């Protein structure tokens, strides 16, 4: 019984050794070729370029009266940032507005009252003229028949002539008014007064500095009570928009790029922070001298530490392309033997590693797409 057990143990040991010999793996690390999707990454250094700091200067000499904001404060578009003494300018604006409104009212009255009144008067005069003419014609017929005296005929003619003269005067006034008279003069005056009013309004506006867009006040360079010369920097602001970074990548990466691709930014000053972003613009032209393509990356997170001009590194997830980095026989680049005679790999075959020529297409820095080896090929890592 003891001998039988020993025999069985020896038999199992021989089978195990034989199995290990027949099916042993190649010595060292190896990789089996198979269809796979390569997570293609594009790496590039980048710099925060937008929004840029904007310096606002005094448009005219001003005595600073009030500064209702502070450094670091966020304000809306149109918010008052600096107010100067504008008493004289405000008075001039009030006078200009009053003159404009008075003339505008005169023009309105002339259009709505004077002209309609003249037309109505002409209609009345026309009706009176018609009656006077009929009366004169009737009396003349009677005079010709000897029924009335010559004095009565002349009296009727005098009345008719007076009515005719009044009608002609009204018609002359109406024609003159509608073509070139008071209305045209008032319109001309109104245009001049409007220009004066706008100049006065601009003078008032130049005595204050307002936010041109939603922004953050970065620095204030003047103080209340200070007299500021025209053109002197008064404050610095930063537009409230998503941060945009610029980078350049090798032109060989262009086919893997498109807007909307996700990426991460690691800033040099904050290496532990991984900030989400995406590709917002892929430049349509290549810099021939450098062989690079310009990209813009937009930050998707609100990070208070980001500042204009900061530098960092971007990791962009490349576009998925069938038979290029999707469903392709991919091999890590470290398995390649790059020699003067060509490119080779160590293929595990017949229980040994054979140096075999390989054809491939680079997929970034870390992967290649193999063309001339079948799926399932075991490739040994070179020592």
Task: Write the pLDDT tens digit of every residue in 124-177.
Answer: 878 888 888 888 888 888 777 777 788 888 888 888 888 888 888 878 876 766
Query: How confident is the model over 106-116, as pLDDT tens digits?
Result: 877 766 566 66
> Which of 157, 178, 204 marks a domain boundary?
204
Q: How far apart are CA 299 and CA 277, in angstroms?
A: 4
What is the 8-class DSSP label of residue 251? Answer: G
What is the number of structural domains in the chain? Answer: 4
43 pLDDT more than 50 = yes
Task: Show the tokens assigned to 6.
Answer: 């020993």
pLDDT at 103: 86
Q: Give the C-alpha separation, 183 to 189, whole Å.
A: 10
pLDDT of residue 282: 94
Tell me how far apart the alpha carbons of residues 139 and 137 are, in angstroms, rounded to a whole number. Answer: 6
Q: Is the pLDDT of residue 47 over 90?
A: yes
Q: Are strands 244-250 and 227-228 parallel, antiparallel or unpaired?
A: unpaired
**CA-based nearest residue to 276, from 299, 248, 246, 243:** 299
| Helical segments of the chain, H only | 2-22, 87-109, 115-144, 150-179, 182-205
How high is the pLDDT of residue 22? 39
Q: Which of the four pLDDT bands, split at 50, 70 and 90, describes residue 19? A: very low
Residue 73 and residue 216 share a domain: yes
Q: Is residue 45 domain-shared with residue 147, that is, in the same domain?
A: no
- Give the Cα-Cα-Cα angle 288, 293, 295 (nearest 5 degrees): 155
**Model confidence at 223: pLDDT above 70:** yes
One domain for residues 80 and 213: yes
Note whether residue 11 is domain-resident. no
Angle between helices 150-179 and 115-144 (to 10 degrees): 160
Q: How much of the chain exceeds pLDDT 70, in percent? A: 88
Using CA atoms, how far apart are residues 329 and 344, in angstroms rounded to an integer? 16
Q: Which residue has the higher pLDDT, 143 or 338?
A: 338
Give the per-residue pLDDT at 71: 94
229 and 246 inside one domain: no
Cα(27)–Cα(141) distance, integer angstroms = 144
With a pLDDT cut of 90, the percent of the chain lying above it is 59
The range of the structural domain enclosing residue 64 comes to 53-85+209-239
Better-predicted residue by pLDDT, 54 or 113: 54
Domain-located, residue 7: no
Which CATH number does the domain housing residue 80 bear? 2.40.50.100
- Pick from 9, 52, 42, 5: nearest CA to 247: 42
78: its two tokens:
């149109």
pLDDT category at 40 given cuts 50, 70, 90 is confident
Higher-pLDDT residue of 107 and 211 is 211
User: Which pLDDT score is estimated for 18?
Assistant: 42
Distances in whole angstroms, Cα of residue 295 to Cα of each of 242, 267, 310:
16, 17, 16
For position 159, what pLDDT does the model report?
86
- Given a contact cutoff of 8 angstroms between Cβ atoms, the answer to whether 49 and 244 are in contact is yes
Confidence of residue 181 (pLDDT cuts 50, 70, 90): low
What is the band of 209 on the pLDDT scale with cuts at 50, 70, 90? Answer: very high
Structural domain contains residue 10: no
Q: Which of 166, 165, 172, 176 is nearest to 110 (CA)?
A: 176
């Amino acid at each position: 019984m003891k001998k039988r057990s020993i025999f069985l143990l020896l038999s199992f040991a021989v089978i195990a050794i034989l199995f290990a010999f027949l099916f042993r793996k190649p010595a060292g690390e190896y990789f089996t070729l198979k269809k796979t999707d390569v997570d293609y990454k594009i790496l590039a250094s980048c710099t925060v370029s937008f929004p840029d700091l904007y310096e606002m200067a005094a448009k005219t000499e001003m005595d600073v009266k009030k500064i209702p904001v502070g450094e670091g404060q966020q304000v809306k578009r149109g918010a008052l940032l600096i107010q100067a003494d504008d008493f004289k300018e405000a008075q001039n604006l009030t006078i200009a507005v009053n003159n404009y409104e008075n003339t505008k009212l005169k023009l309105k009255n002339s259009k709505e009252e004077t002209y309609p009144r003249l037309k109505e008067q002409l209609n009345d005069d026309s009706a009176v003229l018609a009656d006077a003419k009929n009366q004169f014609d009737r009396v003349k017929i009677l005079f010709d028949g000897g029924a009335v005296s010559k004095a009565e005929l002349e009296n009727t003619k005098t009345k008719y002539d007076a009515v005719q003269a009044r009608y002609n005067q009204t018609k002359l006034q109406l024609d003159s008014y509608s073509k070139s008279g008071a209305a045209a003069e008032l319109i001309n005056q109104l245009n001049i007064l409007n220009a004066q009013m706008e100049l006065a309004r601009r003078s008032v506006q130049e005595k204050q500095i307002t936010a041109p867009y939603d922004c953050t006040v970065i620095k204030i360079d003047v103080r209340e009570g200070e007299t500021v010369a025209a053109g002197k920097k008064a404050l610095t602001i930063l537009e409230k928009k998503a941060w945009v970074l610029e980078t350049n990548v090798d032109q060989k990466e262009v086919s893997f790029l498109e807007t909307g691709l996700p990426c991460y930014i690691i800033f040099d000053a904050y290496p532990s922070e991984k900030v989400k972003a995406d590709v917002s613009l892929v430049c349509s032209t290549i810099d021939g001298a450098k062989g690079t393509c310009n990209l813009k990356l937009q930050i998707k997170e609100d990070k208070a530490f980001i500042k204009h001009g900061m530098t960092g590194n971007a990791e962009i997830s490349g576009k998925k392309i069938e038979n290029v980095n999707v469903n392709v026989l991919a091999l890590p680049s470290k398995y390649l033997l790059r020699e003067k005679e060509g490119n080779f790999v160590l293929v595990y075959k017949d229980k040994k590693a054979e140096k075999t020529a390989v054809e491939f297409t680079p997929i970034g820095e870390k992967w290649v797409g193999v063309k001339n080896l079948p799926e399932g090929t075991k490739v040994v890592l070179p020592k």
